[in-house]
Amino acid sequence: MLGPNGSGKTTTLSILLDLVRNDTGIFEWFGKPPSKGSRKRIGSVIESPNFFPYLSAVKNLKIVADIKDKPYDDIEEVLQITGLFDRRNDRFRTYSFGMKQRLAIASALLGNPDVLILDEPTNGLDPQGIAQIRDLIKRVAEKGITIILASHLLDEVQKICSHVAVLSKGKKLFDGEVSEVLAVSELLEIASNNMVQLQKAISLHPNFTSIMRSEDKWLVYFKDQIRPAEVNEFLYKQGIVLTHLSERKRTLEQHFLELLRDNS
């Protein structure tokens, strides 16, 4: 779930966790209306992690397990997953901010949830801490747990997420697979054995806007998103066989900014 600060990400997640009442609309968990039973299958980290500063990680997790009515059996495993096992007996107040974030995720993993909700898990972290949380999220996902992540960091979403929903001012602007967003381009590199003929042919494309030479290739700009296969087919029908076809993929940031601009 991607959006600028104030777009409604935390509010939406809070509604899904029954922390905030929704005014209108409905939602389901696991194909059924939300219930006490469905919430037990969900782990979450909303806002900043809060633990007893004078207690160790193990003792804090035992308290969380008691609140969740879960056994202590998972504590060692979640500490291993989050990389805190060697510091398990150290007091919470001695932890770095990144370690505190990881302990919050460890507490959310108690009871082996089916879904893990993380609200801005890398917020306030330095580059090393961000990388650690990113790797942790990937390890958790490999266990088969679905992760719903809210973030305003486009680079993080592009690196770790399979699907994205873009929010702005409480409205959904887009949802779909991240790979679909990145699979389209407005700039292609093309080349053939006859560059003059190629230039004339590509200029006839209905979405063509401009072309420029870059060494032994043409850089072609289009007014709308274009798929390389479409261009290849278009030129082949005109008797041109390409010797080079490469897209310069747009980033999620470009798509995100376009959505915000179009809906401003």
Confidence (pTM):
0.74
Q: Is the pLDDT of residue 184 over 60?
A: no
- Which residue(s) pair with 168 in the sheet? 171
Nearest of 230, 256, 46 to residue 156 by alpha carbon:
256
> What fold does the segment set 184-248 form as a domain?
Alpha-Beta Plaits (3.30.70)
Q: What is the mean pLDDT of residues 17-45?
A: 92
Label residue 177 by pLDDT band (50, 70, 90): confident
* Residue environment code for 222-259, b if the CB has 16+ CB neighbours within 10 A, otherwise e: beeebebeebbebbeeeebebeebebeebebeebbeeb
pLDDT at 214: 83
The CATH architecture that domain 9-177 belongs to is 3-Layer(aba) Sandwich (3.40)
Q: What is the mean pLDDT of residues 235-245?
A: 94
Q: Is the pLDDT of residue 182 over 70?
A: no
Label residue 187 by pLDDT band (50, 70, 90): confident
Q: Is the pLDDT of residue 224 over 80?
A: no
Between residues 143 and 259, which one has the greater pLDDT? 143
Domains 9-177 and 184-248 share a fold: no
pLDDT at 150: 93
Is residue 104 within 8 A of residue 112, CB to CB? The reply is no
Q: What is the mean pLDDT of residues 11-19?
A: 93
Is residue 84 within 8 A of residue 57, CB to CB? The reply is yes
Domain ranges of the chain: 9-177, 184-248
Summarised one tens digit per residue, pLDDT across range 115-142 is: 999 999 988 888 888 889 999 999 999 9
Is residue 151 within 8 A of residue 7, CB to CB? The reply is no
Is residue 122 within 8 A of residue 156, CB to CB? The reply is yes
pLDDT at 251: 67
Residue 220 contacts by C-beta under 8 Å, 6 or more apart in sequence?
187, 188, 189, 190, 202, 208, 210, 211, 231
Compute the mean pLDDT over every residue in the chain, rounded to the nearest whole number.
89
pLDDT at 158: 83
